[in-house]
Amino acid sequence: MGNRTVKAYKSDGMGRYLKRFWKENTLTILVLALLCGIQVGANILMMWSFQGIIDRDMNRFLFWMLLLVAVWFLIHGLSGLETWLRCRGIRCMNNAIRQDIAKALLQKSYPEFHGQSVGDYLALFTNDISQIESLAWNPFFDCIRSAVTVVFSIAALLSLHWSLLAASVATTAIMLSAPKLFHRNMERLGAVCTREQQAAVSRLKDLLSGYDVLRFFNREQLFLQGIEQASQRMEGPRFRLAYVKGFTGAGMGCVNIVCQMLHVALIGILSVRGIILQGALTGGGNLCGNLSAGLGGMVQNVLSMSSAKPYFQKLPLHMEQIAIDRADRAAEGIEDMEPETAGKKIAMEQVGFCYGEKTVLQNFSACFEAGGKYALTGPSGCGKSTLLMLLLGCLPGYTGSVRLGGRELSQYRPEQLWRQIGYIQQDVFLFDATIRDNLTLGEEFSEDAIQKALRDSALEEDLRSMPRGLDTVAGENGGNLSGGQRQRVAIARALLHSRSILLVDEGTSALDRENADRIERNLLSRPELTLILVSHHLSPERKAQFTRVFTLPGAGGS
């Protein structure tokens, strides 16, 4: 059954993960098969025990009953082991899928990643994994259980009489052909469910992010209405999927009962005529029940796995994608080697960039010499921030030429540039971790290097007033720190991870003038650092300290 199920889904991501799930849970499947075989064997023991009563043979009855009790103890022990193995296998697979998703996200370009909301990604990591567990992993195990039970039950019935096998084959044909009537409908409902839940999660995130705005404008009712609408959008498709599965199961249950009664009637006839043991009326009925229940379970689980298919289709096959990306880069002449930016200049000639039909940069030319200090000024929307993102390799669709060390910027992957170019954003993001962890980002630095970065970012004095110093927890998105402290942490982080080129986008906008001056002086005093700084306002004294100040004209927004 397992290989057939995998083969049925091999054309998409579901088949890839089912095959992987099958391989990594071989021991669980073997234990499950052993458990099912012993359970079917218990029915045989029950038949012989019942036959001892019919024959009025107390010794035979007691022997088979004691053996049956021992077998049931074994069944419960194996059942506990199977449950543990199953839970472990599902946990490992869920973790593996999340790792696949994370690796695939790292392959996305800057525009591709930001083309979806954080809510969409959260749904992928949480809700979608949960749905896969309930609609695929558990039904996969249950389908194995049902298939093995059917096989052992057929063998047991065959040992009683060939006609029972013939009846079982006919029943199997009926039960296995029935799911084809509902397969497409369940797959369609599953697709609707995943699409609507993703949209609902995005809407919930939007409402929660805008909580303060709605409260400040006394729009609490809009918040409540939005939550209710998102909840309805999330639960509606799940409800439809659940009740359709239920009605489908009920219909199949009726077919199942008819088949089961036919089996019982056949066993009764054979028993009355003395063809099989009279004790088969007890165990044989259970075998027929196991067979019918197994067939019904297979139908239900296959339908459930069909409804899980849309969730698998959203999962990226990251390893194949990495290979494709590398082949594309090789075809385009994009090298995997690290660019050497130290001592190299950046030359921009007639550079232009548009967001759709909106022009932001047009015919911009500049030369940033190694070790030079440059400022970008101009009105809001003139493209200053866009220019920095372009230099970071985040916006590849530019016109003109941008050359780093004599090589076109588009010939390098963004992550290669990020190992050489530092970036300080205006809107600082901090993790819900200690200040130290936000500075080091998991790398090892000497205490002297950390203290120097703290001094140069004017953060040293603030830390003295914090009881836990560097071990102070920043809070979610730095919520435990002021805006100025968050910016100084970001500056210290960039200085600690020393790069030969540093891009600063209004990195001191939240600081008082004294601290801003101190930080800017520190940056300007580093001869080895190529500095490109965006600012709306620069004093004449500060302008004189830069190698050159570029003023960008308004070009329709940024």
pLDDT of residue 288: 66
Residues β-bridged to residue 347? 367, 403
Token pair 């910016």 is at which residue?
A: 487
Do the beta carbons of residue 373 and residue 326 sit within 8 Å? no
Among 14-28, 40-54, 384-398, the range scoring the smallest mean pLDDT is 40-54
Residues β-bridged to residue 366? 348
Do the beta carbons of residue 270 and residue 47 sit within 8 Å? no
pLDDT of residue 77: 92
Query: Does pTM top 0.85 for this prediction?
Result: no
| Domains, in order of start, for the chain | 2-315 (1.20.1560.10), 336-420+499-558 (3.40.50.300), 432-493 (no CATH)
Token reading at 27: 């021991």
Among 215-224, 339-348, 400-409, 430-439, the range scoring the smallest mean pLDDT is 339-348
SS3 content of the chain, % helix, strand, coil (to 5): 65, 10, 25
Token pair 């089961």 is at which residue?
A: 260
Backbone angles phi, psi at 316, to 5 degrees: -80, 145
Those residues whose C-beta lies under 8 Å from the C-beta of residue 288, and which sit 6 or more positions away, are 153, 157, 260, 263, 264, 267
How many Cα atoms occupy the beta-carbon half-sphere of 3 within 13 Å?
A: 0
Residue type, 1: M
| Alpha carbons 3 and 384: distance in angstroms, whole number | 57
Residues β-bridged to residue 368? 346
Q: Looking at mean pLDDT, say which of 85-89, 157-161, 412-416 comes out highest.
A: 85-89
- Tell me how crowded residue 241 is: count the other CB atoms within 10 A of its CB: 20
Do the beta carbons of residue 390 and residue 417 sit within 8 Å? no
Do the beta carbons of residue 292 and residue 171 sit within 8 Å? yes
| Alpha carbons 156 and 38: distance in angstroms, whole number | 12
Q: How far is CA 248 from CA 147, 243, 245, 533, in A?
A: 20, 8, 5, 64
Token pair 């836990």 is at which residue?
A: 468
- Tell me how crowded residue 350 is: count the other CB atoms within 10 A of its CB: 11
pLDDT tens for residues 185-214?
777 777 788 788 778 887 787 777 777 666
pLDDT tens for residues 109-133?
777 788 877 878 888 888 888 888 8
Those residues whose C-beta lies under 8 Å from the C-beta of residue 417, and which sit 6 or more positions away, are 339, 341, 392, 393, 404, 409
